Structure formats: C-alpha cells, structure tokens
Amino acid sequence: MRQEADIAPANVAVTRRLFLGAAAAFASFAPCAAFAAHGASPLKVVETTIIDAPPDKVWAVVSDFAHADWLPGVARVEASGDDVPDQARRRLILADGGVIEELLTKRDAERMMLGVHREGDDVKRLPATNYTALITLRPAEGGKTEVEWKARFYRGHPTNDPPPELNDDVALAAVTALQRAYLAALKAKVEGR
C-alpha cells in the first residue's frame, strides 16, 4: 500500500505512519468508501504558485486532460470523452500499480479554469473523499502565470466522531501536500526543468 501523499513533506509522513498502523482496522471500511458517502462538512484547500511562462503556455498543459502524465506518481493516462465536461474521464495509472479515476467537470478556455472530480474514493491512498479540484490560471507580473489549485473534499471518515487517522486535520494535510506536489510538477513541466 502506498499513500498518494508520500510525495510530500514530513508532516504527512507522520500521518502516513499513523495510517499504516490503522489500515488493517479499516480494511472493512474500503467498500463503504467506494461509494460517495460523506458527511456534512466539506473542506477547502487553496494552493497557488507562480510559473515563469505566459498563461497560454500553462493552459496548454493544464487543459490537456487526457495527457496529464506529468502528474506526480503517474505512469500513464487512459482517457475517453474528448475533453468534454461531464463526459471526459481519465484513468491515472500510477507507477505503483494503483489507479485513480477522474471526471472532467469544467473546461473553460476563456477564463482558463479546469474542474476535475475524483470518481470513487480510496482513503488508504488519500485520506479524503469526494475530491473535486478547480484549477484557475491568472496573468501575473512579468508575463508569468499564477496558478491556483483549489480543492473541495470531505475527511476520510464518512460520519461524525472520526478516528484520528481519518479526521479533518489529516485530510487537510494530505490534500495540501498533494496539491503542492501537483503544482510543483506542473511548474517543472512547463518551465522545462
């Protein structure tokens, strides 16, 4: 088992150890998490970065939903639906053999916004559920681009009184780490490093 947020910093590594310890106890939870079961309080994470390239160039990478193999940990992508919102889907085939399925929810070239919803949850990989991202590009000074990666999700535990391994803080830390890693990978891809 490999947690998606491994790619990220130390605070998440602690989370991961906690999580590995509890994983067996939560094995019975997995079928439940496969449905869109979630509680009453969506969480939000907003991360931004500046990329040294004009918005058009960044948008060309971000909006290419079907070829997002620059995402960290992704070996290859299988896509369908011709980048049409609410139809286009992609399977991110991960280097560790795992698979993440995502639906394109928005692709607005004029406003440079891309929306992606993760289909099906695997709290062993990411201790959060019902993850939706909204990526927005804005022109920044000096011909650069500000990329904002916003997420909406719920904690891993679908009802009240979560165990410490699946509480809000764990979900927030994991998604924050994930989005920082996504942004770093995007920056590296666009800037050619």
Partner 1 sequence: MKLSRVPSPVANRVFPVCASDAEVGSSRLRFGRGCRAERVTGEGPHPTPLRGATFSRKREKEARALFAALFVLLCSPASAAEAFITAQGADALSIVDLSKMETVATLPIGGKPAGIAVSRDGARAFVTSPEGKFLTVIDAATRKIEKRIPVEGGPLGVAASPDGKRVYVADLYGRRLVEIDLASGAQRSVGVGAMASGVAVAPDAKTIIVADRDDNALSLIDAATFSRVATIHVGKHPFGVTINASSARAYSANVESDDVSVVDLRARKVIATLKCGSRPYTVALAKGRIFVANQHGDSVSVFDAETLAPVDTLKVGEYPEGLAVSGDGARVYVANWFSNELWAVDAQTLKVLGKAETGDGPRAFGAFIRDAD
> Which residues of the shown chain bind partner 1 in the complex (CB under 8 A)?
36-37, 39-48, 85-86, 105-106, 115, 117, 132, 134, 148, 150, 152, 159-160, 172-173, 176
**Pick 38 or 124: Cβ nearer partner 1:** 38
CB of 75 to partner 1, least distance (A): 28
Strands 74-80 and 89-94: what pairing?
A: antiparallel
d(CA 115, CA 173): 21
Q: Can you read off the two tokens belonging to residue 187?
A: 């920056």
Report, in Å, the least distance between residue 85 CB and partner 1.
8
Toward partner 1, which CB reaches closer, 90 or 98?
90
Nearer to partner 1, 98 or 162 (CB): 162
Q: How far is the CB of 5 from partner 1 (least distance, A)?
A: 13
- Closer to partner 1 at the Cβ: 86 or 96? 86
* Of residues 69 and 86, the one with the C-beta less far from partner 1: 86
For residue 160 the two structure tokens come to 């009240």
- Best CA proximity match to 91, nearest among 82, 100, 80, 83: 100
Closest to 167 measured CA to CA, from 179, 154, 186:
154
- Smallest gap from Cβ 24 to partner 1, in A, equals 25
What is the smallest separation between the CB atom of 115 and partner 1, expressed in angstroms? 7
* Residue 155 to residue 133: CA distance in whole angstroms: 15
* Separation CA 43–CA 170 (nearest Å): 11
Cβ pair 96, 116 in contact under 8 A: no
